Amino acid sequence: MDIIVLKRDATEEEMRHVVKKLESRGLKANISAGTERTIIGVIGDTSKVTEEEEDAIRAASGVENVVRILKPYKLASREFKIENTQIQVRGILIGGKKIPVMAGPCAVENKTVLTAIAEKVKAAGAAFLRGGAYKPRTSPYSFQGLGEEGLEYLAAAREKTGLPIVTEIMDPRDLDVIVKYSDIIQIGARNMQNFRLLLEVGSAHKPVLLKRGLSSTIKEWLMSAEYIMSRGNHEVMLCERGIRTFETATRNTLDLSAVPVLKQLTHLPVVVDPSHGVGKRDLIAPMAKAAVAAGADALIIEVHTNPEEAMSDGEQSLKPEHFEKLMAELKPVAAAVGREI
């Protein structure tokens, strides 16, 4: 008993009655009101619900059907919610017909450089500014980010350009300050299975961009999304950013087949990061176009005014003029699949 489908004419009182029956068994109810039906998602260990108890729920007034979900991720599953989830961020829709592009430097270096990049990507048509104030690096001696100072620079760039901010969290102890400044909280690939962090972010009232782990399966990725959603935050986006394979010609292997697979399995928006997926700037444009053709709901692309001097990921950062060219080239690809850039 994982989903309870209410009748079209079910009353509020009948719905509350079902919720109380669930709560009496130590379960929680997540109510999703769709255009056709209202669905109650049952949260908790439903394996302990007996057939008799399930039949009692099925017989309750206002209940049309009781469904078991075989997949371990419930809230993220397409069975739980048939309609695609759409997320509004400062008036920008993610998961609709228009494909927003998130662009900016890998790391926030200083206010001047960041503001210049923000202005350039805004002029080219970007909808969001991405930039890391806290940077997870392989080497402890590499640049680790500016912390709250970097967040202040991002907020200043947002004030000047109007671009909402996408920035990464690494530590649950930084949640309050990240929430204060950001519009979308990014969970990086290295933290995809940092379950304590996922639960903490799930308690925040901010949209989450969840990147796929370096060697994670799609099931593991969706289970991580379930951690966030189990705490009440259902505004989750899944970001394909390449996985680790035996191939060395690119930084990672961008798994574009994940996009249509996810569209079948989940209602959550799917974002593609071709910059991390290939790690080479001359490969970003073709993979960005392929991502749009595959059905991506948004793109996240690294842009820097001077990639040669970038403190992080300069090799995979586009110059503003190349980003502008790419934005123009994406439009006919989007149009071909019934979308817009």
Position 137 in a domain: yes
Q: Are residues 223 and 128 in the same domain?
A: yes
Any domain includes 78: no
Q: Judge if 101 and 39 occupy the same domain.
A: no
Distance of CA 186 to the CA centre of its chain: 8
Residues 306, 191, single domain; the answer is yes
Asked if the structure places residue 134 within a domain, the reply is yes
Give Cβ neighbours of residue 242 (< 8 Å, ≥ 6 apart). Answer: 212, 250, 251, 252, 253, 254, 255, 273, 276, 277, 278, 279
Domain, as residue range, for 44:
3-67
pLDDT digits (tens, 9 = 90+) for 236-263: 999 999 999 999 999 999 999 999 999 9
Q: What span, in angstroms and rounded, lies between the C-alpha atoms of 178 and 154?
A: 11
Domain boundary pick from 67, 96, 115? 67
Q: How many domains does the chain fold into?
A: 2
What CATH code is carried by the domain that includes residue 300?
3.20.20.70
CA atoms within 13 A on the CB side of 177: 16
Q: Is 229 exposed, middle or buried (0-12, 13-18, 19+ CB in 10 A)?
A: buried
Label residue 317 by pLDDT band (50, 70, 90).
Answer: very high
Copy the structure tokens of residue 122: 């805004």
Per-residue pLDDT tens digits for 33-59: 777 778 888 888 777 777 888 888 888
**62 and 106 both lie in a single domain:** no
Does 230 share its domain with 198?
yes
Domain identity same for 61 and 98? no
Q: How far apart are the C-alpha atoms of 188 and 167, rounded to whole Å?
A: 10
Co-location of 112 and 52 in the same domain: no
Q: CATH number for the domain including 48?
A: 3.30.70.1140
Q: Cα–chain-centroid distance for residue 314?
A: 24
Asked if residue 341 is part of any domain, the answer here is: no
Question: For 222-240, how does the pLDDT look when each residue is reduced to its tens digit (9 = 90+)?
Answer: 999 999 999 999 999 999 9
Computed over every residue of the chain, the mean pLDDT equals 92
Can you list the positions of beta strands (E) in the chain? Answer: 3-6, 28-33, 38-43, 63-67, 87-89, 92-94, 101-104, 128-130, 165-169, 184-187, 208-211, 236-240, 270-272, 298-302
